[in-house]
Chain A
Amino acid sequence: MSKRISVDPVTRIEGHLRIDVEVDQGKVVNSWSSGQMWRGIEIILQGRDPREAWLFAQRICGVCTSVHAIASVRAVENAIGLDIPTNAQLIRNLILIAHSLHDHIVHFYHLTALDWVDVVSALDADPKKTAALAESLSEWPGNSLNDMVAAKKKLAGFVGQGRLGIFENGYWGHAAMKLPPEVNLLAVAHYLQALDYQRRANQAVAILAGKTPNLQNLAVGGVANAIDLDQATALNMEKLNRIRMLLAEVGQFIKQVYIPDVIAIGSMYPEWLSYGAGVTNYMSVPDLPMNSKATDFEIPGGTIFDGDLSTMTPIHGWNDPRFRDNVEECIARSWYDGDWSRHPYEEETVPNYTEFEEDGKYSWVKSPRFQGKPMQVGPLAQVLMGYTQGHEPTKRWSDHILTQVSSLAGVELGLDVLHSTLGRNVARAIRCAVLSESAEQHWQMLVDNIAKGDTAVCNPPVFPTGEVRGFGLHEAPRGTLSHWVVIENGVIKNYQAVVPSTWNAGPRDDKNVPGPYEASLIDNPVADADRPLEVLRTIHSFDPCLACAIHTHDPDGTARGSAKAR
């Protein structure tokens, strides 16, 4: 007899994702992923000035504001064929890199680590043994006995007050939790330290962008930062040095804490390298342009089908017609009028909510398809493209982590184990390490370019009469992001954002083919249907972010009906 589980917490800021699974004999046999919130940005932008679209677009998500802002200006620039100055490319790159470092650290420590780490068990740890273990893994100064004693004391203080505070909502003592107490304590100590480093990454964004979340420094055509090395109010050498220092500190945390923790925790859950592959068609887009015209990119993109790395086909830059012409969104199972599959330029967004019908429409998320196929996007896709295209830092970090995990787990693990729940978390760590090196590189390129006397930051846009169309790409922390804009006589006529979590969290399509979240859950073990920790592990491995809106505070802490019935 199968049992149906619905995980649908409606919390203050998220509350957009509902996952339903059917469990039979301890395994997931069917699943549905449903976005419970309608975004509506497309309609808000119609009729507006394309130069201000990014101000609105960045507010469709409260957390990844920078990624939508930049995809939006890139889309408008693409539509009118506008190049931006080299400084503007590099400043945007540094913002995107710093945001990614922040985002990946938060994902690992504050979003998913507690699916694998038993906080309560850390209370049984011997701080001395924990420090000895930590010091054997890395030279990080925060691994001392004092640090471990302090972390345990802090945790014990919370438990002593009869509450776990921020940790009160975990599945502590669950049968699927397998780390020894010392590793759990180490992870708790690093959870606390990570709060400081994610913030440093954000400070770097704020120095460049004025503010984060919600950037202030963008413009169609470039950025609004004044560059003057001698002016206190401009982007000067003091600010640039501060950015370098912040990013170097974050880079050290990534190399000495995040990567060793992923290796240590990952090697104790090798079975999770065999669950959760799901859709093994992958896509990523090139990003971090190295010059004004964006003809050369630091990070390569491409497609891979059926998990077969020999099918890798690169995506060439931001005008590649193979990308432009092969993306469609299907609404057969989504709460919109009709059942069409259309290109983003041709879509209309007419909401039509019905109930959750598992054989009919059941999500606000559309189903994007590339050449008619579902694609998994995210760090794993990006790592596979980088590895197969010989991107040196991607290859080096992938090999390093896989070798270390193999040695600790006592089995030979190749690149193919990354097609899994744990693999997605490993790939995110690889991407984070790679980008922390890109940060140094792009910082140096910016300083060198300014030193040549180039202080240009913006090329003003000119909009032609008649209709123009453009798309803007960004390889965001959660994967391929594209914004699509149709402009008529200088006014937005149509706008679509095809976001990474739409690719991953979309429902079935008109051919009943499930999306990546749905496919990845099939055959996942579920030890205790009342505490579906394993389902969360797999969904969290995608770094879900359906966001884009609702956030009313609920003083009673109960689910808000209105967030669902929309």
Chain B
Amino acid sequence: MKAIRILALGNVLIGDDAVGPYLLAALHAHYHFPADVDLVDAGTPGFDLLPMIEDVHTLLLLDSVTGPGPPGSISVSNRDEIIGSSLPHRRGPHDPSLRAVLLEAQMRGIGPQRVYLIGVVPESTHAGTQLTPVVRAAVPAAEAVVVQQLKNLGINPQPKTPPEQVCAWWEEINPQNA
């Protein structure tokens, strides 16, 4: 059982949808976290998200969101806001949305007590392995929001000095081929 899990969602192959994994990589490069906090890059797991959230007390999700605000805007929502609206019909194994997975956990009477979603509005989710400049520029502010959220939860991550390089492996083309 982890006290807090920081979990990134997003597909690194479609532009700004990588903002969650990128933000996670940035946090990993810039801060030390205590042992009862872990960082997980979940990709776009659909139903497979369920086991990743069942064994934590508090869940901090990092994801791209459709709003509010223009590209690069940062927002924080809680569980009630995420699951507040109605579910669409399921058609594929990808359909179980974040909302559906949280409801499934709720029905089973397990899962995180507290859920926060730190979202960044994307500019482009076209195929590609780079963030747009506006979203990349929003990452430091989004990191600060995550750190503040952790402080509110009584966790104080210490900055790494010097900070490490952000490892966004998907952005790089192997130099041998460049």
User: Of A11-19, A83-91, A303-311, A444-452, which stretch is located at the interface?
Assistant: A11-19
Interface residues of A in 529-553 (CB under 8 A from B): 536, 539-540, 543-547, 549-553
Interface assignment of B99: CB less than 8 Å from any CB of chain A? yes
Residue from A114, A166, A539 in contact with B100 in the complex, judged by beta carbons closer than 8 Å: A166
A interface footprint on B1-27 (CB within 8 Å = 1, 0 otherwise): 000000001111110010000000000
Q: Which residues of B contact A44 (CB under 8 A)?
A: 13, 127-129
Contact across chains for A9 and B88 when beta carbons are under 8 A apart? yes
Interface residues on chain A, size class? 35 or more
Interface assignment of B103: CB less than 8 Å from any CB of chain A? yes
Complex: A228 Cα to B65 Cα, angstroms: 45
Complex: A550 Cα to B42 Cα, angstroms: 14
How many A-B contacts if CB must be within 8 Å? 207
Q: Which residues of A contact B98 (CB under 8 A)?
A: 12, 553
User: Of A54-62, A271-279, A294-302, which stretch is located at the interface?
Assistant: A54-62
Interface assignment of A466: CB less than 8 Å from any CB of chain B? no
Interface assignment of A355: CB less than 8 Å from any CB of chain B? no
Given contacts A13-B94, A107-B93, contact A550 B11 (CB under 8 A): yes
User: Of B29-37, B79-87, B137-145, B147-155, which stretch is located at the interface?
Assistant: B79-87
Q: Which residues of A contact B89 (CB under 8 A)?
A: 7, 9, 169, 536
Interface assignment of A242: CB less than 8 Å from any CB of chain B? no
* A391 to B: closest C-beta gap in Å: 26
Contact across chains for A48 and B173 when beta carbons are under 8 A apart? yes
Complex: A60 Cα to B96 Cα, angstroms: 17
Q: Which residues of A contact B58 (CB under 8 A)?
A: none
Complex: A106 Cα to B82 Cα, angstroms: 23
A interface footprint on B114-132 (CB within 8 Å = 1, 0 otherwise): 0001010010011111000
Interface residues of A in 201-224 (CB under 8 A from B): 202-203, 212-214
B interface footprint on A1-34 (CB within 8 Å = 1, 0 otherwise): 0000001011111101100000000000000000
Complex: A44 Cα to B14 Cα, angstroms: 10
User: Given A7-B89, A59-B170, A154-B107, 4 other A-B contacts at CB below 8 A?
Assistant: A41-B127, A44-B128, A549-B14, A550-B11
B interface, CB within 8 angstroms of A: 9-14, 17, 41-48, 50-51, 63-68, 75, 77, 81-82, 84-100, 103-104, 106-108, 117, 119, 122, 125-129, 169-170, 173-174, 176-177
* 5 pairs of A and B residues whose beta carbons are closest in the complex: A40-B127, A62-B44, A557-B85, A12-B97, A14-B94
A interface, CB within 8 angstroms of B: 7, 9-14, 16-17, 38-41, 43-44, 47-49, 52, 55-56, 59-60, 62-63, 65, 103, 106-107, 110-111, 114, 154, 158, 165-166, 168-169, 192, 195, 198-199, 202-203, 212-214, 490-491, 536, 539-540, 543-547, 549-557, 560, 562-563, 566
